[in-house]
Amino acid sequence: MCICINCRHIEICKTYEFIKKQHKNNKIKDISNYFTPINTIITVNINKKYLNIYVDWDLKECSSFIEKPGNWLTL
């Protein structure tokens, strides 16, 4: 699971917007002053079930992470 959902910066984070784009989320924001986090580690899991391939993108580590539990509930 992506740690972004409990981060204070989720609404303006450049990395989170990139991950949303990879998930083909059509509600991408056009933010002129993105916050660029430092030292991020993104994992990409590739799963195959029968003839379908699923790709899952998750942010696992971020030095800019500031915990704000439940922040995603307000989005």
Q: Is residue 74 part of a domain?
A: no
User: What confidence tier does 10 reach under pLDDT thresholds 50, 70, 90?
Assistant: confident
- Which residue range forms the structural domain that includes residue 36? 3-66
Q: Is residue 48 part of a domain?
A: yes
**Predicted pLDDT at 72:** 75
Tell whether the model's pLDDT for residue 36 goes beyond 70.
yes
pTM for the full predicted model: 0.75
**Predicted pLDDT at 3:** 86
CA dihedral 51→57→61→63, nearest 10 degrees, is 160
What residue ranges in the chain does DSSP mark as E strands? 40-49, 52-62
Quote the tokens at residue 18.
């990139």
Say how many domains are in the chain. Answer: 1
Give the mean pLDDT of 18-39. Answer: 80
User: What confidence tier does 26 reach under pLDDT thresholds 50, 70, 90?
Assistant: low
User: What is the average pLDDT score of the chain?
Assistant: 86
Q: Is residue 23 part of a domain?
A: yes
